[in-house]
Amino acid sequence: GKLVNNTIPRRDDSALIDREEANIDLSKGMYDAGDHMMFGFPIAFTATILPEDMTEKRPLTKVTTSKTGSDVVAVTAAAMTSASLVFKSSNSQYSSLLLKHAEELFNFAKGNRGCSKSFPQVEAYYKSSDYGDELLWGA
């Protein structure tokens, strides 16, 4: 949709003509994944689940030297590196901090190799059988 008060110069309006087929304005909404599809169910579900209603146990998963997850750690390092580039000219101190932590994460991933499949509760949702591509991306 139309971005209001856009403070990120590299972002722009999107999906402004998603109305023509049904003659209904469908230009607003959120992409639910890394694609260009907008589905109603994910946002509807998210909007109905209120934090005060989430009373069940939500176990913590933590990547360690014995419960490895090079895949998720390396891709997190890549995300932080990308973010450091976004802030490089506007907030160099924050950019440097992001890059420092990205390097720490990458070194941890490289030194403690393994997939996040060591967490069965995660593997049910995100099947990962290799970490090489994430290490490459994180480098």
Instruction: Give pLDDT tens digits for 49-98.
Output: 776 766 777 677 788 999 888 988 999 999 999 999 999 999 999 999 99
- Per-residue model confidence (pLDDT) at position 39: 67
Q: Across the chain, what does the average pLDDT equal? A: 81
Q: How many domains does the chain have?
A: 2
Measured CA to CA, the distance from residue 134 to residue 139 in angstroms comes to 8
Same domain membership, residue 35 and residue 90: no
Q: Looking at 25-39, 83-97, 116-130, which range is the least confident one?
A: 25-39
Residue 88 to residues 78, 100, 138: CA-CA distances in angstroms?
Answer: 15, 13, 18
Q: Which residues of 96-131 are buried (b: 16+ CB within 10 A; e: fewer)?
A: eebbeebeebbebbbebebbbbbbeebeeeeebeeb
Separation of alpha carbons 139 and 100, rounded Å: 13
Q: Look up the pTM and report it.
A: 0.62
Contact 106, 139 (CB under 8 A): yes
Check whether residue 35 and residue 75 sit in a common domain: no
Residue (of 101, 103, 129, 109) closest to 63 by Cα position: 109
Q: Which of 115, 120, 121, 119 is CA-nearest to residue 135?
A: 115
Distances (CA, A) of 121 to 45, 48, 49, 64, 128: 21, 23, 20, 16, 12
Q: Are residues 7 and 39 in the same domain?
A: yes
Residue 59 in any domain: the answer is no
- Assess whether 133 and 80 both reside in one domain: yes
Domain around 94: 70-138
